[in-house]
Structure 1
Amino acid sequence: MTDMIPVPPRATTALIVAAIGLAGAVALAAFAVLAAADPSPATAAPEGARHDAARTAETGAPAAPAAAAAPDASTEPGPADGTLPDGSTVDTELPGITGLRPELLAALRAASADASAEGVALGVTSGWRSTAYQERLLQDAIGQYGSAEEAARWVAEPSASAHVSGDAVDIGPAEAAAWLSERGASYGLCQIYANEAWHFELRPGAETSGCPGMYADASQDPGMR
């Protein structure tokens, strides 16, 4: 039997401690590599949360929530299309008035001055209209009356509309429309449709021959077809 060389107790203890330390370091390094490569779903932050955290760190303020999709642009007509506010007159400086044909506007202003002298204010509820505005009115009328045929009694196609061409004006209130219906011929201003007491157009020659007979409604007017 070979004699063994005795190892001092202190050297044995040092070797054991060194081995344990080396094993622990290897285990910790392996755990760190695994954690970096495959984080636990329970602790990993979602992608958006990580971006928000980064934004908060940079700016000091929480990230704003994602914006909702913008709604479709409004198609409501405005003054540039010929809409007029309540109380508009022949002197209102908006396209709905200034877009009328000059000869029609001149006749309206002459009538308005005389009506005012009699205590009647001629208001204008609608004058010139853009094609888009007229189309909007037509579609609204189709929805209201239930068919294109019935709507045509009240609203013309844009391509045929006297409002779009600047040749027609709607007068209000009812007192003013009645005044112009009785006296309009002397200014060349005539009611055209029996069902629209407010609608007037210029008819040259009406000053001497009177206004022509009215159509029952716009659908009976050959110019609307």
Structure 2
Amino acid sequence: MTRPPPSAGTSTRRIRRLLVVGLVVVIAAIAAALVYQSLISPSSPSSPSSPSSSSFSAEPPLKSSSAVPPSPSSSAAPPSKAPRRENHEALDEAGGLVPDGVTIFDDAIPAVADLDPDLLEALRHAATDAADAGADFYVNSGWRSPNYRNQLLREAVSTYGSEAEADRWVATAATSPHVSGDAVDIGHSDATTWLSDHGAEYGLCRIYKNEPWHYELRPEAIEHGCPRTYADPTQDPRMRQ
């Protein structure tokens, strides 16, 4: 049996129903899109910013502490005072201080010029011969004033912790052969090595085992050789006066 074709009114209603359903679907899709957009957009659209930049503070970073030298703590101890100089003359060239690079031929330096003349002559004779072997006689210490010697003794007591230990290295002004101009301390090691081998030929002798640089004049050594050395100045009878 054949179904009769739909009437024109029925077709129109069906089309309208489809249009309404389609419009509802479109409206629902638009609404969903708007809701999704509102969820992912910034809370303040007037001042957009990227997520990474919004996580930092707007305050500038602090300056590095190394840019400004640290100030001393108020609780820090004050620097120790320099040792008092009781006599300025004792610590300059006039008192026997020897600048670097002074040789046994520097007459302008009191530590050299005020040595005993016989000792100075023997040293210069030996230094002239030693120079041919490549050894130069530098003076680390020669004549010293009593004030300078006393200053050195005070420093030695402070360094070694006792007068007994200091006496092994520094004699008093009353007994030191440096004060009388009868002793010289020679540098460098090539010069003292040369003197150890040849000094007796000029009457120049090492006196103390603990001071290989300390030389004095012993004229008899030219014929008989240098006398036996003392262990240190405390063994020298001259230091007990």
Give the structure-2-normalised TM-score: 0.62
Paired position in structure 1 for 2:132: 117
The aligned amino acid for 1:108 is L
Out of 83, 106, 112, which is 2:97 matched to? 83
The aligned amino acid for 1:118 is A
Mapping 1:156-171, distance limit 5 Å:
156-171=171-186
Listed one character per residue, the Cα deviations across residues 35-92 of structure 1 (whole Å, up to 9, x for unaligned) are xxxxxxxxxxxxxxxxxxxxxxxxxxxxxxxxxxxxx767451000011111111111
Out of 108, 111, 133, which is 2:148 matched to? 133
* Corresponding residue SS for 1:192: strand
Q: Distance in 1 between matches of 2:161 and 2:93?
A: 28
Q: Distance in 2 between matches of 1:141 and 1:81?
A: 18
The aligned amino acid for 1:88 is V
Paired position in structure 1 for 2:77: none
2:239 matched to 1:221?
A: no
Paired position in structure 2 for 1:60: none
Out of 219, 233, 237, which is 1:204 matched to? 219
Q: Distance in 1 between matches of 2:219 and 2:188?
A: 25
Give the structure-1-normalised TM-score: 0.67
Q: Flag the 1:73–1:158 CA change in 2: closer, same or farther, 3 A.
A: closer
2:111 matched to 1:96?
A: yes
Q: Distance in 1 between matches of 2:165 and 2:233?
A: 10
Q: Distance in 2 between matches of 1:73 and 1:102?
A: 31
**Structure 1 unaligned runs (5+)?**
1-71
Q: Distance in 1 between matches of 2:196 and 2:216?
A: 11
Mapping 1:38-117, distance limit 5 Å:
75-76=87-88, 77-92=91-106, 93-117=108-132
The aligned amino acid for 2:174 is S
Percentage identity across paired residues of the two chains: 52
Q: Distance in 2 between matches of 1:108 and 1:205?
A: 15
Runs of 4+ with deviation above 2 angstroms: 72-76
Q: Distance in 1 between matches of 2:126 and 2:213?
A: 15
Q: Distance in 2 between matches of 1:146 and 1:75?
A: 23
Q: Distance in 1 between matches of 2:224 and 2:196?
A: 15
Q: Distance in 1 between matches of 2:237 and 2:226?
A: 17
Listed one character per residue, the Cα deviations across residues 170-215 of structure 1 (whole Å, up to 9, x for unaligned) are 0001111111111100000000000000000001110010000000
Largest Rg, 1 or 2: 2
* Corresponding residue SS for 1:115: helix
Q: Distance in 2 between matches of 1:73 and 1:117?
A: 43
Q: Distance in 1 between matches of 2:143 and 2:194?
A: 22
Q: Distance in 2 between matches of 1:190 and 1:157?
A: 21
Q: Distance in 2 between matches of 1:139 and 1:175?
A: 31
* Corresponding residue SS for 1:121: coil
CA shift, 1:163, in A, is 0.1
Q: Distance in 1 between matches of 2:215 and 2:146?
A: 19
Q: Distance in 2 between matches of 1:122 and 1:73?
A: 31
2:225 matched to 1:179?
A: no
